Chains A and B, each alone.
Chain A
Amino acid sequence: MAHNIRRYSKRRCCALVPLTCLIISAHGQDQWEDWGDEWDEPAAASEPRFPINGFVEATGSYRTRDSDVLAEEWVAQDLRGRIQTFYQGSGVMLSYKGEVFYDGVDHELHASNREAFVGFTPHSAVDVRVGRQILTWGTGDLVFLNDFFPKNWVAFFSGFDQQYLKAPSDALKVSGYSQWFNLDLVWSPEFDPDNFITGNKLVYFSPLAGEVVAAPPELQAEGPGTNLQDGELALRLYKTIRGIELAAYAYHGYYKTPEGFDPQRGTLYFPELSSLGASIRGNALGGISNLEYAYWDSRENSDGENPLLPNPESRFLVGYERELVRNLTASFQYYVEYTHDYDNLKARRPDPAQRPRKVRQLLTTRWTLSTQQSNLVYSAFVFYSPSDEDYYLIPNILYRLGDQWQFNAGANLLGGEHDYTQFGQLETNSNLYARAKFIF
């Protein structure tokens, strides 16, 4: 074999590709040696057993509109360090991601475990993952119909890295695989709500007060109990047939934000919610198309008779994405929330500010222009609701400097005709943000 190698090399250099020889002599062999690490002959695995990585990231987000109710000009001043490691071997997978961060607006130091799970494969067709983990499914882009895993809306609206939109779950995930279909079952023994806007740093519309408010007091909500039967169950069945991804979803748990009001106790709480849905995604029309549906059953208010609880809803999504020209990708989504038993709701909540639209429509578009071999990326995401007459625009510029530095600058620009719609209420939270990240 060695003989053969030499022969090829010789032929190449001497006769075949004179240009090659020129290049080799010009750059020298050291071009191939200095990779900043060892990449030795056969080791047991293709990467270190417990690689330690992480980053330090600074985020600053400055309010662009004066608020009548919140004097603080900064939405976020955040400096954080991340340490993470990962192990895979002997049929076991371990992942840990931990962060320490300083909140410069509240002058507080925090620590959090973002990921801490063990994965194993008890059977060749079963994977189990237990512990703190990030979980995502569904076909929407920043629109969630069947994904009831916790979201961090505060981080999202404040200009943090988009990975922070997904908050971790403390859960057991069992995945099964077969030739007919695959299955994911996720059990969260304790309810994981979204990190929703409470009036601290970000304002919101309070239906009780009838206006936009800020903390203090922070929005408080009563969670479900902590008994085993008070947890959440999420199920996905899925299969890919000739590139077409089919999935069915079910969820049994609670609204992830406090949508209900308990008049006896005078508190907001997370009403019971069950959901059934389905999605399909595949190549179409030179791009990717997706359709998704979900029926949200507000279990405590299935007939829509209780004005203090959400009504059942149907949610539809259709999306399309394609690369328009080289390095420029555009995507579009049309999303509808249809409120069932609306007449009951209307009769009991005559003030439009106090009730959702019967049909809430949302259009989104995302544009991404990648330049300089993906080192300079311009993007914009727009939400626009013709029914609510409100909008949310997220322009962003990403610049990568080598493998270690990333810089982002952008904005969260919100507004609308009314101060009670989803984005209209957040108008004075509009901000400009900048982030700098050093990766190690």
Chain B
Amino acid sequence: MKPLPLLITAFRGLTFLLLAGLALQGKAQELDVNTIVTRANHVAFYQGEDGRAETRMKIVDGNGREQLRQFTILRKNVEDNGDQMFYVFFQRPSDVRRTAFLVKKHLDQDDDRWLYLPSLDLVKRISAGDKRTSFVGSDFYYEDVSGRGLQEDRHELVATTDTHYKVKNTPLNPDAVEFEYYLVWINKDTFMPEKTEYYDAQGKMYRSIESLQVEDIDGFPTTTRMKVSDHRTAGYTLSEMRFIKYNIGLPDEVFSERSLRTPPQQWLERPSR
């Protein structure tokens, strides 16, 4: 299984971008594309010092068959727009209950990833691997959750509307990815990336990610509903986040082997608000 939480954070960040965009609308026209994507990246993945969220996913394949995933995510920034730590604790489906996933995301080297399998009491180290593979069997990719390095693509501002920046992103290393390019619609007010479309070599859009609901949480615009669609198989995944809280004061120790084997209950409990 691969981690979902990063995705969530990313989309949260996107939401924030949207809001920020609103506030800065007057100046927005003058922003260059690097500033836009940097702020979008922040909104999608880095809001607050840390945070927690409960996520569930409904994975629907091309034949209409459904699978569910439910898990709690804890995130802490090591540095803003830099390294991050994630801990994911699975509740559903029942055969993966108590499975836990730990990621230390690094910008300048491979991520450190561990998976805990409770049926074997096994802490398994997972190779960093291709980040464009299914996260926990869903249509989300690992990279959708953890973020894609800004330096991996060439960014072009191809259109500016009243509400959005439309940015075209072309990979510097096309052999490493399955897409030819992707388009992102970034909200000018919040800098939230609200829609992403991936195109193949024939110029056909085959995959999309949409932010379907944005809420203000602890002052941060946060995407709470998302949809990833695979237009080739007609499969899709809905993701919903609840019980989100930012700046909860997560200690570094939570992101450790101890938490894999013994879930950190204090931080997994729902906030009372």
- Point out residues on A near B: beta carbons under 8 Å: 1, 4-5, 8-9, 11-12, 15-17, 19-20, 23-24, 31-32, 35-36, 39, 42-47, 51, 53-55, 86, 88-89, 91, 93, 119, 121, 127, 133-137, 139, 162-163, 165-166, 175, 177, 182, 238, 240, 243, 245, 281, 283, 286-288, 290, 321-323, 325-327, 329, 370, 373-375, 400-404, 406, 439-440
Contact partner of A243 (CB less than 8 A), chosen from B104, B123, B227, B268, is B104
- B216 in the interface (beta carbon within 8 A): yes
**CB contacts between A and B, total, < 8 Å:** 195
Measured CB to CB, the closest approach of chain B to A118, in angstroms, equals 12
Q: Closest 5 interchain pairs by CB?
A: A323-B129, A53-B94, A403-B93, A163-B119, A243-B112
Instruction: Check B54–A136 contact: CB distance below 8 A.
Output: no
Stretch from B29-37, B43-51, B149-157, B235-243 contacting the other chain: B235-243
Instruction: Check A32–B265 contact: CB distance below 8 A.
Output: no
- B202 in the interface (beta carbon within 8 A): no
Q: Which residue of A lies closest to B253 (CB)?
A: A177
Contact mask for chain B residues 122-154; partner A; CB cutoff 8 A; 1 contact, 0 none: 110111111011101111000000000000000
Q: Which residue of B lies closest to A401 (CB)?
A: B65
Contacts of B173 in A (CB 8 A): none
Beyond A8-B214, A23-B210, whether A86 also contacts B97 by CB under 8 A is: yes
Contacts of A47 in B (CB 8 A): 91, 97
Instruction: Check B265–A89 contact: CB distance below 8 A.
Output: yes
Beyond A43-B270, A47-B91, A288-B127, whether A4 also contacts B238 by CB under 8 A is: no
Measured CB to CB, the closest approach of chain A to B270, in angstroms, equals 5
Q: Which residue of A lies closest to B242 (CB)?
A: A39
Q: List 14 A-B contacts (CB under 8 A).
A: A5-B216, A8-B214, A8-B216, A15-B163, A31-B238, A42-B272, A45-B269, A47-B97, A53-B95, A137-B123, A322-B129, A373-B137, A373-B235, A440-B94
Contacts of B195 in A (CB 8 A): 17, 19-20
CA gap between A162 and B127 in the complex, in Å: 21
CA gap between A151 and B133 in the complex, in Å: 33
Q: Which residue of A lies closest to B112 (CB)?
A: A243
- B271 in the interface (beta carbon within 8 A): yes
Q: Which residue of B lies closest to A330 (CB)?
A: B127
Instruction: Check A35–B56 contact: CB distance below 8 A.
Output: yes
Instruction: Check B240–A32 contact: CB distance below 8 A.
Output: yes
Of A16, A24, A326, A374, most buried by chain B (CB within 10 Å of CB) is A16
Instruction: Check B185–A16 contact: CB distance below 8 A.
Output: yes
Measured CB to CB, the closest approach of chain A to B241, in angstroms, equals 11
Contact mask for chain B residues 230-255; partner A; CB cutoff 8 A; 1 contact, 0 none: 00000100101011000000000100
Instruction: Check A326–B93 contact: CB distance below 8 A.
Output: no
CA gap between A175 and B261 in the complex, in Å: 11
Instruction: Check A326–B269 contact: CB distance below 8 A.
Output: no
